[in-house]
Structure 1
Amino acid sequence: MASGISAEQVNNGILALNRFATFLARPELNIESLADVHRNILERYLAELQTLGRTENHRRAIGQLGIFLTDIRRHRWDTSLPADAVLFTEDVPRQAKRLPRALAEHVMAQVEDPANLARWQDPVYRLITIILMRCGLRLKDACRLPFDCLVHDADGAPYLRYLNHKMKREALVPIDEELEQDIRDQQQRLLERWPAGVPVLFPRKLKNLHGQVPMRGDTYRQVLNPWLERCDTRDANGQPVHLTPHQWRHTLGTRLINRDVPQEVVRKILDHDSHEMTAHYARLHDTTVRRHWEKARKVNISGEKVSLDPDGPLAEAAWAKQRVGRATQALPNGYCSLPVVKTCPHANACLTCPMFITTQDFLPQHRQQRQEVLQIISAAEARGQQRLVEMNQQVLGNLDHIITALDQDDDTETADAG
């Protein structure tokens, strides 16, 4: 612990060693010393862990045991440990890739409601809640914010400075002027109680005569659910909402990705150490875009509905092709469904191309283009350019089919909403 390891990590190491020691104590193994702990013993232990389930606990147990075996050799605690008594990377179960546990927007609308935020009986808890929601800090980092946590750039824009305990480094996150004022109000309250100043923004309430000790995360967790009950916060099924403070961090990351904030910017705001951590939010965004794509009415140049089976065997391949098409073959008024490995034989003639697909999102562009085509036809007729008239008449007809089909879908959605 003197080297900076947390008490929780020390405890995890002790639990891992106790579990392994209990396994070695079995009479049938006949283990008398570390000299008897060969790779085959470790493999039997790994097999037993595998049968118990609880993958996350096993990852921790195996990781801590591997560190212990390495330290035995590093510090020469016991030179009798066999050379093959090692754990490899592939021995650790793969961690399941879970989507971020972001809160639904209608839940966020309730907890962000100023009237509900005013239901906090203590302004300290209200401020912590706002910081968690708007800045995406981990609860431990929010509770340990320093008193002088405000920083301004050359333009005078405010930032929140905090210590990212997980990465063991200081980080900055941009904030708005309203949150800056709330923090200054908290600083003023602390100076009124402790004129000499305190080192932390949120001192512990009790047994903290000089305000030196920061609030614990458990203290905030204990008051969170009673606040949610006072606000009568409910989910989509009308059931009371129970959430964890860390879900606000997931929600912020998801919101930023869904608003097309570049992934590198999201990584900086959340102070992730790797792009892979931030990629979890991008995976959710990809799922969201796909759901809207599958739900949208898609028509071709004749106004005929184009159906893609979301559950069929080609669903993943079709979505991958469409997503690549968005990136490489996006058109100002739709998408090209021609495989990207093929060259388009048409020169700027998408509205007469059978591979063209469009959705309701492009209705304004279609209506504007229809007006432009009408002007081209009128001008060509005046100049006697019959061939140009015929070519644009076909485009005009396809535009009429598209606009009519998409307008019908719009009317249907409006009636359903009513």
Structure 2
Amino acid sequence: MADNVIELHPTSRSDLLARLRDELPPAWRGPRIGPDIPGWTDPPGGHIHDLVLTGLPEPLLTELAWMAHWQQVIDGSPASVQPLNQFAIAYRRACDAGHELATSIQQIDWETGESLLNWYYTTRWKRFPPANTRFRLRAVFHVPRLALIAHCHQGHWWELDEWHPRCDPRIPIGPREPHGGRIIPAHITQPWLREAVKWHLGTQLEAGTLRWSTIGQARQLTRFDRWITVAFDDPCDVLSDPLAAPAQAAEFRRWAADPVNRAMRSCDRRHRAHRVHPRQVNDDLRAVAELFAFVAANTRKARAVLGASPWSAVTALHADAWRRQITPIRHQPMLNADHYVDDHALAQITAALPLLALPRGQHMLVTRGDGTTVTAEGFGDPQVMRMILLQILTGRRASEVRLCEFDCLTPVPASTDDSEGKSLTRFRYAQSKIDIAPDTILVDDEVVAIIEDQRRWVRDRFPTTTTNYLFTARKSNLTATKPYAAGSYTRLLNKFSDLLAIRDSKGRPVTLGHTHRFRHTKLTRLAELGLPIKVLQRYAGHATPSMSMHYVAQREEHAEQAFIATAKFKADGTRIRFSRDDHDAMHLFDRADRILPHGWCMLPPLQSCDKGNACLTCSLFATDATHRDVLQHQLDDTTALIDRTTTEFASRHRRPMPDDNVWLAQRRAEQQALTRLLDTLPTEPGQAIQGHGCPTAVTEPVPLLPDPTFPRRTRP
């Protein structure tokens, strides 16, 4: 055992400063940085002034120079020259005034830096610093300072009070996971709980049990810290008596179910009226139970890592008591249409998508969901337009499109091209959710054109830089190494959605912030085309067929279409080879009033009809090519009736019949419906047409399933 122990020897401060200085190129070592750096004033990211660190202590000078170099060269963000210069000036003036300040930026937190900036402005200009000045300096303390602390830290990465993969490359993160976002264990106020949470989550991340992109226990355990702070006089009592654990867990469950208690920030108070889903409460209970179980299962290691702490009293009984408070959840029906985007809403979205790519300052007319037309200013972000188009066309998750590689297309051999001669290409998306799931699908020329258009846009924006991502960050991305931020994507789509106020065919609002609905829509359409479940599972990238079925919407329109396209069978299971009318009559509930001279009525038997004889303009009317002669005869009679009646009206009243005449409007609607039906039937001879005369009905032809070559089964 002793041979496997690696001893960590602390590095002196002078050694750390020497290492930082040696890592800097000579032009970045100060005290004046900029004149000797190539491209210092060139856009993008060009600087007007030099970074002047004259008169600062050597440790502070080296650290600030390292932070500027990290921003400009490693992170790809323009160095914060102006706020660093202001901080250096304020620091020198405070030292000249006799103030005692730390000589290392690692020992100066944001509160101290803000106080120093306020003192400098009030003594020099008799006013407080502007808000944008404080914001820029706070950004320096947020990211570059955190990168410096992580770089100088000699222990485990999870010992730090703030985790940020962008600043700390030691954090285990997958190649397709976004490096944005952060976890702040410092928000946990109880020291004994904070250290245990850092050890627990850090170990789980290193072991691969948890992933950075899906970890949520830190936020849930922060909520647990808030509860024990208000529920106990001594928060350590939550670990004392195992017999009291069930009652404590039940009390926490009731507390976590209150929306007011879940608000972490003042801006979250607007969500206090929202109902807390039982799954959210279960996640909180599960996070606490897993923490208790982890510490109880590693008691010896806990003593070495946490030292003398209340955790010595925790047992597996505590974890079991908290797990038993997890309540079973009644799952929603597998098939539902809540997340399906119908054609009516999708037409509004696609028609207004050019507004996303339109430069700012330019305007275009868009039609809102209520039918009104407004003039809107362009959003100036063509990347968002292409990302949402790819989601609509491919059904990929937002992260799979946003983080896909620049070289994500692979040609497919000609032998696998589709039957119509269209070339197919293999699209490799950023699959990171399921390890065993595939990460490629076949796409058509439309998807390839969108990707190639985005490639040209990136090459024009970064002509001398090789990028890894197809969609790149808009800001602080000089080296083109950062993907498009998830928060920026969602915020822009929410603004776009609020502007359009999109409504579906039933008048329900459709928001674009939740882009996962396009995945539901794409998989539903593929399922309705008759794809086998295994093929649908492969396309969706799911591990099980049941998961794919959760994405298939149960649409009433498709059920009606499938009803009229069912195969014809006898009672013994053999396919019917005689009249189509016999089978349709049998499957229409033996209702004679459902069989029409020119088609069928799909109205359920228990419902009444208020259309009268106006079947041609009803979405429940269906017909096919067998009724062509009847439909043609009806069209001829209707046309002759319109001509005769309008002629008689003109001769009697000495003026033409007005277009808004009720009788004439109805007859012309029937005439147009018959014309559309007869135009469609020759192009789809073996298919049924549903509601073709109704403008709001589903008008796509539905393939019929009967196979005339299917052998008839004989009875024994």
TM over 0.5: yes
The alpha-carbon distance between structure 1 residues 125 and 21, as it changes in their structure 2 partners (threshold 3 A), is same
Q: CA deviation at 1:178?
A: 2.3
Letter of the 2:250 partner, please give it. R
Percent of aligned positions with the same letter in both sequences?
Answer: 17
Q: Which has the higher helix share?
A: 1
The alpha-carbon distance between structure 1 residues 72 and 182, as it changes in their structure 2 partners (threshold 3 A), is same
CA distance in 2, matches of 1:202, 1:146: 8
Worse-matched range after superposition: 230-239 or 168-177: 230-239
Worse-matched range after superposition: 155-164 or 3-12: 3-12
How do 1:184-223 and structure 2 match up within 5 A? 184-192=452-460, 193-223=462-492
CA distance in 2, matches of 1:42, 1:74: 21
SS at match of 2:388: helix
1:97 alignment counterpart: 332
CA distance in 2, matches of 1:281, 1:48: 32
The alpha-carbon distance between structure 1 residues 205 and 139, as it changes in their structure 2 partners (threshold 3 A), is same
1:204–1:215 Cα contact (<8 Å) kept: yes
1:82 alignment counterpart: 315
Letter of the 1:209 partner, please give it. L
SS at match of 1:357: helix
1:14 alignment counterpart: 221
Q: CA deviation at 1:349?
A: 10
How do 1:168-317 and structure 2 match up within 5 A? 171-192=439-460, 193-228=462-497, 233-236=502-505, 241-244=510-513, 245-282=515-552, 284-285=553-554
Worse-matched range after superposition: 246-255 or 182-191: 182-191
1:302 alignment counterpart: none
2:399–2:430 Cα contact (<8 Å) kept: no
Which string of whole-angstrom CA distances, capped at 9 and with x for unpartnered residues, describes residues 365-413 of structure 1? Answer: xxxxxxxxxxxxxxxxxxxxxxxxxxxxxxxxx9x99865774749642
Q: CA deviation at 1:239?
A: 7.7
The alpha-carbon distance between structure 1 residues 190 and 237, as it changes in their structure 2 partners (threshold 3 A), is same
Q: CA deviation at 1:6?
A: 3.8
Gaps of 5+ in 2: 1-170, 173-204, 206-210, 259-275, 303-310, 359-380, 415-422, 603-612, 620-668, 670-716
The alpha-carbon distance between structure 1 residues 31 and 219, as it changes in their structure 2 partners (threshold 3 A), is closer
Q: CA deviation at 1:150?
A: 1.1
The question of 1:130 aligning with 2:363 is answered no
Q: CA deviation at 1:259?
A: 2.3
RMSD: 4.2
Q: Which of 11, 29, 37 is the equivalent residue of 2:242?
A: 37
Q: Which of 156, 164, 175 is the equivalent residue of 2:431?
A: 164
CA distance in 2, matches of 1:173, 1:354: 40
Larger relative contact order (C-alpha < 8 A, sep ≥ 6)?
1
2:296–2:315 Cα contact (<8 Å) kept: no
The question of 1:149 aligning with 2:405 is answered no
CA distance in 2, matches of 1:349, 1:189: 60
- TM-score of the superposition, structure 2-length normalised? 0.40
Count, aligned residues: 333
2:587 alignment counterpart: 358
Q: CA deviation at 1:107?
A: 0.6
The alpha-carbon distance between structure 1 residues 66 and 350, as it changes in their structure 2 partners (threshold 3 A), is farther
Which string of whole-angstrom CA distances, capped at 9 and with x for unpartnered residues, describes residues 151-179 of structure 1? Answer: 23333621221222322566112221122
The alpha-carbon distance between structure 1 residues 65 and 134, as it changes in their structure 2 partners (threshold 3 A), is same
Worse-matched range after superposition: 196-205 or 90-99: 90-99
Gaps of 5+ in 1: 297-325, 337-342, 361-397
Q: Which has the larger radius of gyration?
A: 2
Which string of whole-angstrom CA distances, capped at 9 and with x for unpartnered residues, describes residues 31-53 of structure 1? Answer: 63624134533553366369755
CA distance in 2, matches of 1:89, 1:174: 46
Letter of the 1:131 partner, please give it. L
CA distance in 1, matches of 2:597, 2:233: 74
CA distance in 2, matches of 1:51, 1:239: 28
